[in-house]
Amino acid sequence: MKSLKNLPAEQQLKEIDLVAQKLGMPKPSERPVLEIKPGEDGEHKILELKRGKWSDEQPWFVIDEDGKLMVLSSAEAMMGIMNSLQHMGEEVFKARLERAIAKELPIDFHDVWTVAMHELQKRLKESGAEASNVNLENLVKSIKRQHPNLFYSLKDLQIDERDLDEAGL
């Protein structure tokens, strides 16, 4: 986002309203907007209310001395955002693992999932890495090599050689 420092006050508020809309905030033009101004010394600053009311309504938009827009929110709201992001990350990880397993044609998806989770936990303990850094395709391929009985083989499915060539397999 560009600096708001050299923009006229009316344009600053329009830019803030656009950010508020992108964040999905209802009634963005009613959100409190504050500006930080230099104080008497280096230890103090002055907060000037540019729009809205001094209220508990969250969040507040703050324009710092360099024209950078910040959002001031309660710790409770920030914890909610962080929890949502963590949950979303877990869901994305699960979806990636599901796709990696499905690619290898499991006979019983849940059996492969259980083995994958056990193997993942083992690898994470050994390496100290994070789950998001694990190559899930390689993990599932490794499980397929160790436990071929958990997966269909294309040969077992009796697929014609021409069909395999057409599919690029």
SS3 57: coil
pLDDT in tens, 106-159: 999 999 999 999 999 998 888 877 877 889 999 999 999 999 999 988 766 666
d(C-alpha 69, C-alpha 169), whole Å = 53
SS3 50: strand
Q: What is the pTM of this model?
A: 0.64
Q: Which two tokens stand for residue 70?
A: 């910040």
d(C-alpha 151, C-alpha 95), whole Å = 19
22-26, 50-54, 133-137, 149-153: lowest mean pLDDT where?
22-26
Q: Are 120 and 113 in contact (CB under 8 A)?
A: no
- Please name the helix (run of DSSP H) or strand (run of DSSP E) that holds residue 14, with its range, or none: helix 9-22
